[in-house]
Structure 1
Amino acid sequence: MPERYRPIPAAPLRVALGAVSLSAPLTGIGQYTRHLAQELAALGAAPHCFLGAHWAEVVTADAPGAGPTNAPPGAVPLSVWRTTARHLLSGSWLARVASRTMRARRFRIGLPHDAALYHETNFLPFGDVGLPTVLTAHDVSWLRYPETHPAARVSLLRRHFPRALRHADRVIVVSDFVRTELLDLCEVDPGKIRVVHNGVSPAFLPRSPEALRAVLARHGLLANRYLLALGTIEPRKRLSTALRAHQQLPVALRRQVPLVLAGIKGWLTSELEREMAQAVARGEVRVLGYVPDADLPFLVAGACAMVYPSIYEGFGLPPLESMACGVPAICSNRSAIPEVVADGGILLDPDDIDGFSDAMLRACEDAPWRAAIGERALRRAQYFSWQRCARETLDVYRELVGSPAHGAAVEGL
């Protein structure tokens, strides 16, 4: 092992975890980071999270949706840091460099002295810090579909990601699909790559209409009387297909079963907003925006179906969350989605508006069909868990800084 690596510390294994994505509101990478950190802590890996403005201990498992706590006195609030960072990243190239340089300095100042390794969960490590380094690559959509991303993000990743791949000791990818993409599009040693699938929170489970009523009422919804499209609103999600397919349903059904869009507003959304304006005005489309983590499992469990026509996903958490609730997932057949969904949902070409519309109609009107799909979905969803994700991630750590004491703990799970 190279000399720059430090000796393996005494238990517990201390992991320096890049966790800027934990700043609320959580998107898919934030959910990955939060659940991974919680489960690693349960396995004794003692993650210490870098949030961009400061370091903090991992968020506790009994506080879903909360960000990590224990910020030092005088630390910049996460919301302020996130807003400032976004402002800087939307500015000049010099401002983006300054922002990343400032974060890298904060990272090095607060790096735990007893850290055995550094795991960056969001593509780009903060440089060589003298530790074995693991990075997670969630997809390479910015290479396949650069037009669906802000130009600043594409520029940042093109500039820094190749070096990150070269210097990382291990590269975790969240699906076999992403492994293939990395090998096809990037220069990377295949021996570094480890596939570790994402998991699904146990909060996503089937629920009775009575259990759903209070939460759905806060959002003006009724159980089994809406179709749900979940995720950041941005071009890659191909929400225009969901919108057009819904508009092909009978008028009375569109009014009784609206299409509900849940997720933060992302980027390049003006065309979609123009297209759906009239349907929103008629009440046939509902735009909820960001839904709190505590409400999300109820919102998913109450839907007739999840509609997810994304053209590119490295994994696809929303369909899996839908499947874990026994709710049919009507999905794109591209990228990693078939790998995750398998026979637990309906897979269609994301441009097949008629196919999506037919499946949405059946989900609304054919209860036995919906139940049969839901049973298959539940069986498939059992394959995935955040506990399994954390155990397999810890195995990757042990390849670099293996500890017999931790091996015994893991084997007993």
Structure 2
Amino acid sequence: MKIALSTSVIQRGKTGIAQYVFALVQAMLQQAENHEIYLLVLEEDLPLFAFAKGRATLVPVKESWRPALKNIFWHQFVLPRWLKEHGIDVLHVPSYRRMVWNAPCATVSTIHDLAPFHVKGKYDLARMIYGRVIVKHLARKQDAVVAISQNTARDIERFFGIPQKRQNIILNGLDHLRFHPELEMPQQEPTDPSAAPFFLYISRLEHPAKNHVRLIEAFNRFKAATDSPWQLVLGGSDWHGAEHIHAAAAASPYSKDIRFLGFVPDSDLPGLYRRAGALVYPSLFEGFGMPPVEAMACGCPVISSAAGSLTEVVGDAALIIDPESIDSIQNALAMMASDPNTRQRLIHAGFANSYRFDWRDNARKVLKIYRKCVPSLGGVEARVAESETEDEIPSHYARPTSTLATRHAAI
């Protein structure tokens, strides 16, 4: 089976969708020894897929197709021709924003959330209309839709009219070889945020959706009430409305205790979670929310919003807050900083909860969907896929047959 995966929505590797793509591809390459995988990658993003060397074919996409409108045009009119020329069996687009209307092969799309229906002003007017109106029709044209949570599946049924029984609900995974506790903590430099205990928030700096401004106000009240040495560390790239977040931090009487790390490379995340006193995740809406699960796997206790799918993801392993209540956030910060019993309970519960998520299982299920969507594979191979059980996830790396190449001219 020839599988193509469009990666142009990864925003230079600095978004949650990017982490989904990287993790899914890595896990899929461990199990796809009988398939050819083609990764369609914008030219400047090619280094981000170096991990696929020798195991997949990288197809460069000209940088001129990066801007949003041009990228939509490329998906609708340029990509279908390439798919036909190369005899691709199934195309996977890992975001609702670039679903293809008329492809010459089977189409699969992952929908992470329908935030435009929940968060007022999340995007500009044009993007909100695209996300609310056009995407609904594109979604109905797909051969298979993957929802990353039960909450997202309910939204897809409600707003797009696609029944949940026609969707594939596959929770995001976790790489437990990377995200795990360490008994020995590395020596820290005096300037490192971990020189003092700190609350950590990993999210792009997006206002109002990610709720940083309320978090900063709650932190101000927490500091005023307790005179605590705890700091607030914000990791993530500037996004829509980031100026409001920076302004709120600059105006804080405790601005010296609020630190901005900028984008945190994926390789640095496990160590940062291990050093944090707690992860706080007050987002106003999430289709899944990977940082809470990653933090739990590293032994970091979590404070979390209950918005969107977060309750489904964190279960009873986090201290739940009302993200629209500054008092609720403040009280949770105070409890986490002052109650060691609560911290220990959440550490143990979070670690156990993290084992519900595994990228190998995710990839196995996605590959099964590909097979079902390709008519020529509807026989023996599909029946074999149906017979797989949860215990049959490969525990070793398979040796894929496809190769890294740039033999195709950029498209």
TM-score normalized with structure 2 length: 0.82
Q: In structure 2, how many angstroms separate the alpha carbons of the residues matched to 1:302 and 1:23?
A: 27
Matched, 1:129 2:103: yes
Change (3 A) 1:51 1:159: farther
Matched, 1:184 2:133: no
2:409 is matched with which residue? Answer: none
Does the aligned pair in 1 maintain the 2:9–2:17 contact within 8 Å? yes
Gaps in structure 2 of 5+ consecutive residues? 394-411
Change (3 A) 1:54 1:269: closer
Does the aligned pair in 2 maintain the 1:148–1:236 contact within 8 Å? yes
1:229 is matched with which residue? Answer: 201
Question: Aligned AA for 1:108?
Answer: P
1:360 is matched with which residue? Answer: 333
Does the aligned pair in 2 maintain the 1:227–1:260 contact within 8 Å? yes
Matched, 1:317 2:307: no
1:169 is matched with which residue? Answer: 143
Q: In structure 2, how many angstroms separate the alpha carbons of the residues matched to 1:185 and 1:14?
A: 32
1:6 is matched with which residue? Answer: none
Q: In structure 1, how many angstroms separate the alpha carbons of the residues matched to 2:111 and 2:232?
A: 32
Does the aligned pair in 2 maintain the 1:255–1:283 contact within 8 Å? no
Does the aligned pair in 1 maintain the 2:100–2:138 contact within 8 Å? no
Matched, 1:59 2:31: no
What's the % identity of the aligned pairs?
A: 25
Deviation at 1:128, TM superposition (A): 1.6
Question: Aligned AA for 1:315?
Answer: F
- Secondary structure, counterpart of 1:17 in structure 2: strand
Matched, 1:387 2:375: no
Gaps in structure 1 of 5+ consecutive residues? 1-12, 90-95
Higher normalized contact order (CA 8 Å, seq sep 6+, divided by chain length): 2
Aligned with 1:139 (options 86, 89, 113): 113
Does the aligned pair in 2 maintain the 1:319–1:341 contact within 8 Å? yes
Please say which of residues 162-171 and 252-261 is displaced more in the overlay.
252-261
Does the aligned pair in 2 maintain the 1:54–1:110 contact within 8 Å? no
Change (3 A) 1:55 1:168: farther
Q: In structure 1, how many angstroms separate the alpha carbons of the residues matched to 2:171 and 2:27?
A: 14
Q: In structure 2, how many angstroms separate the alpha carbons of the residues matched to 1:58 and 1:15?
A: 19
1:329 is matched with which residue? Answer: 302
Matched, 1:220 2:210: no
- For residues 302-344 of structure 1, what are the alpha-carbon distances to aligned partners after superposition, in whole Å with 9 as ceiling and x for unaligned? 1111111111111111111111112111111121000000011
- Secondary structure, counterpart of 2:12 in structure 1: coil
Aligned with 2:181 (options 199, 206, 214): 206
- Secondary structure, counterpart of 1:283 in structure 2: helix
Q: In structure 1, how many angstroms separate the alpha carbons of the residues matched to 2:373 and 2:196?
A: 48
Does the aligned pair in 2 maintain the 1:54–1:71 contact within 8 Å? no
Does the aligned pair in 1 maintain the 2:13–2:48 contact within 8 Å? no
Question: Aligned AA for 1:37?
Answer: V
Q: In structure 2, how many angstroms separate the alpha carbons of the residues matched to 1:316 and 1:346?
A: 15
Matched, 1:270 2:258: no
Question: Aligned AA for 1:115?
Answer: I
Deviation at 1:249, TM superposition (A): 1.9
Does the aligned pair in 1 maintain the 2:37–2:57 contact within 8 Å? no
- Secondary structure, counterpart of 1:133 in structure 2: strand
- For residues 193-249 of structure 1, what are the alpha-carbon distances to aligned partners after superposition, in whole Å with 9 as ceiling and x for unaligned? 1100001222121124623x45xx497222671100111111111112221221112
Matched, 1:155 2:129: yes
Structure 1 stretches (4+) deviating beyond 6 angstroms?
Answer: 54-58, 252-255
List aligned pairs for 1:294-309, cutoff 5 A: 294-309=267-282
2:27 is matched with which residue? Answer: 39
Question: Aligned AA for 2:146?
Answer: I
TM-score normalized with structure 1 length: 0.82
